[in-house]
């Protein structure tokens, strides 16, 4: 048995196509699932399964399938055991220990547990929030579709045809699930006898399968009565007649018994992926049954109705009668998602401007659907709380008692960029004591740290208030996302003239009516806040009241001025809006004379100008914010790293392969190839040498030439001095690896040649 085991191991290793370098050969080379599970889940457990020996595979001479299953079961068992143990540990009061302890293991268990707790309170809130936003976005479409299906239009106009709703979902296939789920719920609510059947191309292979599904779901949705039906033939009907399970007659009888003339709505969720013939046949069937069962169909279309129609048979098209519905597209949804989940008050972690820009850009250029954005967001959260020990500082004040902060935490804080700049600033300002205390006195630093939570709240309040007010003016040309990015990166300064927030000119140029509208919108925002940001208006009543009073006074002034100017039959204008300087042209003796004339402003005009100035001054009081990076300890609650995100979500396998093969010594860390620096040297692994040669070759490579070139590098004449036999072995191995990686293949054009496959 042991021998067999040994052999099995050997073979497993042997079949591995590419050479994988394992940096730390301490773990067993056969990475059985069991050991990996242990590694991830119990790094911090002191007891538990660490000391367990690696599981031996049972090798039976019979089929391997059973053994595989057995193995999997065992693995599951072990993980379950471990989870149980972990749970018990948690109850013991040591906190959840599944997260690794950072600071090279020096982090206390409580701190790690607290990090985990913070993460678990931060992310699910957002996830729920995002789902609400997405659901809300679909509402309009839902109402339209339900309205169309329930309307009587198709009774007379599309007589004898199958009513069909074409829902343009866009290429966001992942979003279709949610939409159709909602649709089903909404439609079932509308009537007793409504049966909603979702068909997905993956699940419905042929006509029979589709009909089976329709019949089964059509009979199950009402009450759970049809369940007694067998798989093959279903018992239905009052005389107990058995129907084939793809017979729509069964459905008809069932629905007749239920009474009230129910209807069946069949939704083709991803119409493009369906076989066109299948759709045609199903529609033909529905059409032919239309006088007995009232069918309606819905198509989720990712491209356009025209393209979809071009694929349908014309006879099928003739049997359909429908309307087109649009779904709010991903780009529009993205903004509301960002407002709710990134910028809003519920977001614990701030996604830094750089990463946010990257995410948004990827969303617009590469990805269809918000799903990718949401998972990137989640990944950022996970990364922050999992890998940044300082993220524990985000916890509530009560939980974050001073015992939890270890010397390591303080040391890490002192390493922060923002700490350094803060201290430098303090030194420049002459607050030497403060700087010294920060650097040397631990308890002083702890106090400062605990004070930062309030500071953070204040900053966020100000940021959101500014953003809400700026968007309320409706004067900025940038989208909300752009404004938010700019606010984080550069801060909000209304004075900076060429900048994202230079609203000064636009505000000053506004007419009296526009100004009144502006005041109305702004007061509304001050009082009610911005619901999509979850910002609830200015928090202290005192401030809000004074601000509103100021603005209302202004509005009354402006209204009075308008009245007055109406009486005088002049139009009210300000210094900024009127063309105060008029260029006059006079023709005197065939010569053009230019003269400047200053239009005079009336008394009211001057008053209005004053009002505008006054308004702008108030507005400036309320709007304004520092860039995020200027804040002390902002690293604790800001995440702005591209690299892990890019590596995970946008991997570049081609580039990685090329780099690994060109400069393997960067990864191997061996001393022999230090001087290679990207060129072909004999000490490189054979595959790497071959790759270098491969890059220099043309489309067809003569293997004999390749061998000659290779041998020249490693052969007896070179520094390596390998004998021909072992060189040949290495050569063959390298070539096989190249083939396995898809770089070359056997050419049929010429004997003894291989064709180059990879160009990009």
Element spanning 591, H or E: strand 591-598
Which is closer to other proteins, CB of 178 or CB of 233?
Answer: 233
CA–CA distance from 348 to each of 211, 276, 384, 391 (Å)?
49, 48, 11, 11
**Residue 441, Cα to own-chain centre: how many angstroms?**
42
Which is closer to other proteins, CB of 68 or CB of 304?
Answer: 304
Least separation in angstroms between residue 244's CB and other proteins is 6
| Residues in a beta bridge with 595 | 584
Query: In degrees, to the nearest 5, what angle opens at C-alpha 52 toward C-alphas 50 and 56?
Result: 135
DSSP 8-state class, residue 458: H
Least separation in angstroms between residue 298's CB and other proteins is 13
3-state SS assignment for residue 756 = strand
Least separation in angstroms between residue 302's CB and other proteins is 5
CA–CA distance from 449 to each of 349, 404, 420, 459 (Å)?
17, 13, 14, 15
| Distance separating alpha carbons of residues 498 and 705, to the nearest angstrom | 63
Which is closer to other proteins, CB of 361 or CB of 675?
Answer: 361
Least separation in angstroms between residue 623's CB and other proteins is 25
Which is closer to other proteins, CB of 178 or CB of 328?
Answer: 328
Question: Burial code of 589-610, b = ≥16 C-beta within 10 A, e = fewer?
Answer: eeeeeeeeeeeebeebbebbbe
User: Are 167 and 179 within 8 A, CB to CB?
Assistant: yes
Nearest of 473, 471, 469, 472 to residue 482 by alpha carbon: 471
User: Are 366 and 330 within 8 A, CB to CB?
Assistant: no
Least separation in angstroms between residue 208's CB and other proteins is 6
Which is closer to other proteins, CB of 311 or CB of 431?
Answer: 311
User: Are 267 and 134 within 8 A, CB to CB?
Assistant: no
| Distance separating alpha carbons of residues 647 and 368, to the nearest angstrom | 20
Q: Residue 619's CB: how many other CB atoms inside 10 A?
A: 22
Which is closer to other proteins, CB of 153 or CB of 447?
Answer: 153
3-state SS assignment for residue 41 = helix
DSSP code per residue over 166-190: EEE--S-HHHHHHHHHHHHHHHHHH
Beta strands in 233-279 (DSSP E): 233-235, 242-244, 263-268
Structure tokens at 72: 């999997």
Q: Which residues contact 235 (CB under 8 A, 6 or more apart)?
A: 228, 229, 242
Least separation in angstroms between residue 316's CB and other proteins is 9
DSSP 8-state class, residue 535: B
Least separation in angstroms between residue 327's CB and other proteins is 8
Structure tokens at 34: 């069991």
User: Are 342 and 336 within 8 A, CB to CB?
Assistant: no
DSSP 8-state class, residue 348: S
Q: Is 7 exposed, middle or buried (0-12, 13-18, 19+ CB in 10 A)?
A: exposed
Residue in the structure block whose two tokens are 């300082």: 390
Structure tokens at 291: 């006088």
Least separation in angstroms between residue 696's CB and other proteins is 17
| Distance separating alpha carbons of residues 354 and 669, to the nearest angstrom | 33
3-state SS assignment for residue 702 = strand
């Amino acid at each position: 048995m042991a021998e067999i085991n040994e052999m099995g191991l050997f073979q497993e290793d042997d079949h591995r196509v590419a050479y994988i370098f394992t940096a730390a050969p301490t773990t067993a080379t056969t990475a059985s699932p069991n050991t990996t599970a242990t590694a991830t889940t119990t790094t911090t457990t002191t007891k538990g399964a660490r000391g367990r020996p690696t599981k031996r595979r049972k090798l039976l001479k019979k089929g391997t399938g059973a053994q595989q299953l057995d193995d999997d079961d065992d693995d599951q068992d072990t993980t379950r055991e471990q989870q149980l143990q972990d749970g018990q540990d948690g109850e013991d009061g040591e906190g959840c220990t599944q997260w690794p302890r950072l600071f090279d293991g020096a982090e206390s268990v409580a701190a790690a547990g607290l990090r985990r707790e913070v993460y678990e309170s931060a992310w699910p809130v957002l996830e729920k929030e995002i789902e609400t936003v997405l659901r809300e976005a679909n509402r309009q479409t839902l109402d339209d579709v339900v309205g169309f299906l329930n309307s009587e239009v198709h009774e007379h106009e599309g007589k004898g045809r199958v009513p069909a709703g074409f829902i343009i979902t866009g290429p966001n296939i992942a979003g279709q699930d949610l939409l159709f789920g909602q649709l089903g719920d909404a439609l079932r609510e509308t009537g007793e006898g409504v049966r909603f059947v979702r068909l997905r191309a993956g699940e419905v292979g042929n006509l029979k399968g589709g009909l089976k599904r329709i019949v089964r779901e059509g009979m199950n949705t009402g009450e759970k009565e049809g369940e007694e039906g067998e798989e093959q033939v279903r018992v239905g009907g009052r005389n107990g007649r058995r129907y084939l399970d793809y017979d729509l007659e069964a459905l008809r009888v069932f629905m007749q018994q239920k009474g009230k003339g129910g209807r069946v709505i069949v939704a083709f969720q991803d119409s493009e992926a369906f076989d066109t013939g299948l759709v045609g046949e199903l529609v033909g069937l529905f059409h032919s049954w239309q006088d007995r069962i009232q069918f309606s169909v819905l198509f989720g279309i990712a491209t356009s109705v025209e393209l979809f129609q071009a694929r349908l048979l014309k006879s099928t098209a003739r049997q359909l009668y429908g309307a087109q519905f649009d779904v709010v597209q991903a780009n529009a949804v993205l903004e509301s998602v960002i407002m709710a989940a990134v910028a809003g008050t519920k977001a614990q972690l701030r996604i830094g401007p750089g990463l946010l820009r990257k995410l948004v850009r990827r969303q617009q250029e590469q990805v269809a659907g918000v799903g990718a954005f949401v998972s990137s967001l989640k990944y950022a959260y996970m990364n922050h709380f999992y890998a940044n020990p300082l993220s524990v500082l985000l916890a509530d004040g009560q939980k974050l008692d001073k015992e939890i902060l270890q010397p390591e935490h303080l040391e890490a804080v002192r390493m922060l960029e923002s700490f350094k700049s803060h201290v430098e600033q303090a030194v420049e300002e002459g607050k030497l004591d403060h700087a010294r205390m920060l650097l040397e006195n631990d308890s002083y630093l702890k106090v400062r740290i605990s004070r930062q939570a309030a500071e953070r709240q204040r900053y966020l309040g100000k940021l959101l208030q500014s953003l809400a007010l700026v968007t309320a003016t409706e004067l900025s040309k940038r989208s909300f996302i752009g404004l938010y990015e700019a606010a984080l990166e550069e801060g909000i300064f209304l004075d900076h003239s060429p900048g994202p927030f230079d609203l000064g000119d636009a505000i000053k140029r506004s007419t009296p009516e526009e100004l009144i509208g502006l005041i109305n919108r702004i007061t509304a925002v001050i009082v009610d806040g911005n619901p999509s940001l979850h910002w609830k208006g200015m928090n202290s009543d005192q401030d809000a009241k004074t601000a509103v009073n100021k603005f209302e006074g202004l509005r009354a002034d402006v209204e009075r001025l308008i009245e007055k100017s109406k009486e005088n039959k002049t139009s009210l204008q300000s210094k900024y809006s009127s063309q105060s300087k008029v260029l006059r042209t006079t023709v005197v003796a065939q010569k053009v004379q230019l003269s400047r004339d200053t239009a005079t402003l009336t008394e009211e005009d001057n008053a209005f100008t004053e009002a505008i100035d006054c308004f702008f001054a108030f507005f400036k009081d309320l709007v304004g914010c520092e860039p995020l990076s200027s804040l002390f300890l902002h690293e604790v609650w800001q995440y702005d790293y591209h690299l892990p995100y890019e590596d995970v979500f946008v991997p570049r396998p081609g580039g990685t392969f090329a780099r690994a093969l060109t400069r393997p010594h960067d990864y191997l860390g061996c001393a022999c190839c230090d001087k290679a620096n990207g060129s072909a040297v004999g000490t490189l692994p054979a595959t790497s040498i071959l790759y270098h040669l491969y890059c220099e070759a043309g489309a067809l490579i003569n293997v004999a030439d390749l061998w000659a070139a290779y041998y020249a590098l490693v052969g007896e004449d070179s520094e390596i001095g390998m004998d021909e036999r072992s060189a040949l072995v290495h050569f063959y191995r390298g070539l096989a690896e190249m083939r396995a990686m898809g770089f070359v293949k056997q050419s049929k054009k010429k004997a003894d040649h291989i064709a180059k496959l990879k160009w990009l």
